[in-house]
Amino acid sequence: DAGVIQSPRHEVTEMGQEVTLRCKPISGHNSLFWYRQTMMRGLELLIYFNNNVPIDDSGMPEDRFSAKMPNALFSTLKIQPSEPRDSAVYFCASSLWAGGLTTLETQYFGPGTRLLVL
Amino acid sequence: EDQVTQSPEALRLQEGESSSLNCSYTVSGLRGLFWYRQDPGKGPEFLFTLYSAGEEKEKERLKATLTKKESFLHITAPKPEDSATYLCAVLSLYGSSNTGKLIFGQGTTLQVKP
């Protein structure tokens, strides 16, 4: 299996520009998570989808952030407009949730997108 | 509020020098404590899940243990390839639902010198 695929791996943009991060979860997984990692705040959950439906988006910093999962094969995280404080590594993770708690922890992470907003 | 604190922030060991990493947690009803390993430039990699006090799990030179307030990741006779950041997380439930999210600690960065 190819694992979770994220693109781009690196993104450098200027403040005010739109940024779109992409994620392809592991085939057959039905839960998808977007995380942000910074030195100051560590690893934080931004949004969590189950069967393509957003379950918890309380971690999304503000309206500038939006995420979509149009199907089980693909998700995007968009920042518009971007700001320097959005600079971080963004991870996507997926898991297979069978309806209980036991599979939530086996989240498989992608390699991340390192975002730098100048 | 559910919280996870890891110590030390950084740890340097000589190859073969055993030690332990600590993860203290505050959660309303522990449903699971998780250890991940993260190498530079990569995403976290799942290591263990512990569900109840007294539980232990092992993988190669790593052993994770759990009490009611904290978890330890014991590293026995470490090798340079064990160098990484080790993350601890707890499962925080959404109210009375049967699902939740992981709350991560800041991690312990381990460096093992040959």
Task: Give me the pLDDT at residue A56, please.
Answer: 87
Where residue A61 falls among pLDDT bands split at 50, 70, 90? Answer: confident
- Contacting residues of B for A44, CB less than 8 Å apart: 104
pLDDT digits (tens, 9 = 90+) for A27-45: 999 899 999 999 999 999 9
Tell me whether residues A101 and B31 touch, CB distance under 8 A.
yes
Render B60-109 in DSSP notation, one character per residue: TTEEEEE-SSEEEEEE-S--GGG-EEEEEEEEEE-TTSS-EEEEE---EE
- With a CB cutoff of 8 Å and minimum separation 6, the contacts of B31 are A101, B51, B91, B93, B100
Task: Give me the pLDDT at residue B92, please.
Answer: 79
Where residue A2 falls among pLDDT bands split at 50, 70, 90? Answer: confident
Mutation site for B-interface testing, chosen from A102, A104, A109, A114 by largest number of B Cβ within 10 Å: A104
Residue of B46, B94, B98 lying closest to A100 (CB–CB): B98
> Under a CB-based contact definition with an 8 Å cutoff, are residues B71 and B25 in contact?
yes
Q: Please state, in angstroms and rounded to a whole number, the distance separating the CA atoms of residues A54 and A67.
A: 9
- With a CB cutoff of 8 Å and minimum separation 6, the contacts of A31 are A48, A49, A50, A51, A94, A95, A96, A97, A104, A107
Task: Give me the pLDDT at residue B4, please.
Answer: 94
Q: Please state, in angstroms and rounded to a whole number, the distance separating the CA atoms of residues A99 and B99.
A: 8
Mutation site for B-interface testing, chosen from A43, A47, A50, A92 by largest number of B Cβ within 10 Å: A43
- Contacting residues of A for B41, CB less than 8 Å apart: 111-112
Task: Give me the pLDDT at residue A62, please.
Answer: 84
| Minimum distance, in Å, between the CA of residue B90 and any CA atom of chain A | 9
Residue of A45, A99, A106 lying closest to B46 (CB–CB): A106
From the CA atom positions of chain A, what is the Rg in Å? 14
Task: Give me the pLDDT at residue B72, please.
Answer: 98
- Contacting residues of A for B87, CB less than 8 Å apart: 43
- Contacting residues of A for B91, CB less than 8 Å apart: 101, 104-105
> Under a CB-based contact definition with an 8 Å cutoff, are residues B27 and B92 in contact?
yes
Does A26 have pLDDT greater than 60?
yes
